[in-house]
């Protein structure tokens, strides 16, 4: 007869106390209550499924965002209150507050890639105020002010190199053209963006600006396989040449799925067109409001 290795499994476990049974029952009740609240959250209002530019490829397989879609609700008057919240506006978090309120899917917001966040921004505008976004821009040739209506549903995604993308992997190796060093990059997430903004505020307090290098310090995760953060920062501050820095930015753009926010605008009576980059701000969501 084989010997039992563990006397506690499965036959000789001690009976649970009343306190333990009560704790289990309470946890189960709270779980069921949370599930009911989630059902109300999902089905109490109209929603739409939004496709993410990343197709979910750069997220771990166990992350809900790996499905490549996200569910969002239509904007209500309650969300309009967020847009006019002066405290949120001063803190620079008003749009993040809005997107969090509109996202129905159970996700960790800070896991979002910024490229996917851009798609959420466009979807939020369409679900809130419709697809037509009116802009006024100056013609680069005649100088006249042109009024143009952008159909946000016609915005396309950038063409990128999908061959480097593998499900669940958000790291990409790139050999620098001048130094021949190999850098490992990652696409920036909302969590990274929070850190970048915090670092920028800190530099501003001591009257320094380092936007380009700060971004690189969060974008690069290894140099020739070396992942020690301080060594990466030293390399960027002391060794990285401008020619290699530019090459990183070009490569990063070539592998980043995103919404193309540039549109072709008719140039007055000439019939020609010029390209204009739509730069969304608060007026992107509420153009008639004085905010």
Each residue's pLDDT tens digit, 96-111: 999 999 999 999 999 9
Co-location of 242 and 271 in the same domain: no
Higher pLDDT, 218 or 40: 218
What integer pLDDT is reported at residue 183 of this predicted model? 97
Co-location of 120 and 212 in the same domain: no
> Among 9-23, 122-136, 196-210, which is the least confidently predicted range?
9-23
Given a cut of 80, whether residue 250 has pLDDT beyond it is: yes
Question: Do β-strands 262-266 and 145-151 pair in parallel, antiparallel, or remain unpaired?
Answer: unpaired
Co-location of 152 and 169 in the same domain: no
Co-location of 235 and 274 in the same domain: no
DSSP character at residue 189: B
Is residue 279 in a domain? yes
Can you read off the two tokens belonging to residue 254? 């070539």
Given a cut of 50, whether residue 40 has pLDDT beyond it is: no
Residue 275: partners with Cβ closer than 8 Å, 6 or more residues away: 262, 263, 264, 265
Given a cut of 80, whether residue 117 has pLDDT beyond it is: yes
Co-location of 65 and 152 in the same domain: yes
Given a cut of 50, whether residue 261 has pLDDT beyond it is: yes
What integer pLDDT is reported at residue 38 of this predicted model? 47
- Give the C-alpha distances (Å, rounded to integers) separating 142 from 137, 165, 228, 268: 12, 44, 54, 8
Is residue 18 in a domain? no
Is residue 104 in a domain? yes
Is residue 147 in a domain? yes
Is residue 3 in a domain? no
Co-location of 153 and 280 in the same domain: yes
Segment 157-169 shows an average pLDDT of 93
Give dist(CA 281, CA 283) in Å, integer.
Answer: 5
Q: How confident is the model at residue 122 (pLDDT cuts 50, 70, 90)?
A: very high
Given a cut of 80, whether residue 37 has pLDDT beyond it is: no
Give dist(CA 265, CA 232) in Å, integer.
Answer: 43
Co-location of 182 and 107 in the same domain: no
Co-location of 143 and 185 in the same domain: no
Co-location of 177 and 251 in the same domain: yes
Co-location of 51 and 129 in the same domain: yes
Is residue 26 in a domain? no
Q: How confident is the model at residue 14 (pLDDT cuts 50, 70, 90)?
A: low
Can you read off the two tokens belonging to residue 263? 């549109």
Is residue 212 in a domain? yes
Q: Is the pTM of this model over 0.95?
A: no
Can you read off the two tokens belonging to residue 48? 């739409």
Main-chain phi, psi angles of 210, to 5 degrees: -155, 55
Find the helix or strand (DSSP H, E) in which 70 lies.
strand 69-73
Report the number of distinct structural domains present in the chain.
2
Is residue 39 in a domain? no
Co-location of 175 and 207 in the same domain: yes
What integer pLDDT is reported at residue 281 of this predicted model? 73
Give dist(CA 31, CA 27) in Å, integer.
Answer: 6
Counting residues of the chain whose pLDDT is more than 70, the rounded percentage is 79
Give CA torsion, residues 107, 51, 124, 150, to 10 deg: 160
Co-location of 265 and 230 in the same domain: no
Domain of residue 190, residue span: 162-255
């Amino acid at each position: 007869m084989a010997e039992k290795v563990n006397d506690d499994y499965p036959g000789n476990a001690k009976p649970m106390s009343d306190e333990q049974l009560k704790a289990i029952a309470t946890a189960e009740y709270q779980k069921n209550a949370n599930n009911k609240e989630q059902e109300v959250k999902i089905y109490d209002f109209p929603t739409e499924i939004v496709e993410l530019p990343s197709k979910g490829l750069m997220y771990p397989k166990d992350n809900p965002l790996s499905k490549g879609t996200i569910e969002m609700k239509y904007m209500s008057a309650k969300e309009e209150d967020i847009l006019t919240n002066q405290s949120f506006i001063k803190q620079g978090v008003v749009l993040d507050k809005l997107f969090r309120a509109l996202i129905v899917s159970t996700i960790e917001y800070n896991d979002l890639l910024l490229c996917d966040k851009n798609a959420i921004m466009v979807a939020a505008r369409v679900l809130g105020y419709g697809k037509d976004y009116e802009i006024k821009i100056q013609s680069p040739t005649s100088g006249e002010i042109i009024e143009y209506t952008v159909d946000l549903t016609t915005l396309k995604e950038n063409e990128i190199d999908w061959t480097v993308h593998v499900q669940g992997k958000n790291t990409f190796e790139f050999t620098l053209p001048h130094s021949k060093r190999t850098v490992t990059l990652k696409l920036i997430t909302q969590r990274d963006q929070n850190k970048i903004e915090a670092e920028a505020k800190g530099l501003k307090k001591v009257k320094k600006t380092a936007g380009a290098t700060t971004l690189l310090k969060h974008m690069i995760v290894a140099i020739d396989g070396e992942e020690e953060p301080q060594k990466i920062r030293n390399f960027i501050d002391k060794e990285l040449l401008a020619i290699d820095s530019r090459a990183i930015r070009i490569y990063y753009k070539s592998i980043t799925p995103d919404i193309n926010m540039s549109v072709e605008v008719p140039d007055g009576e000439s019939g020609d067109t010029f390209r204009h980059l739509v730069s969304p701000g608060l007026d992107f969501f509420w153009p008639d409001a004085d905010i």
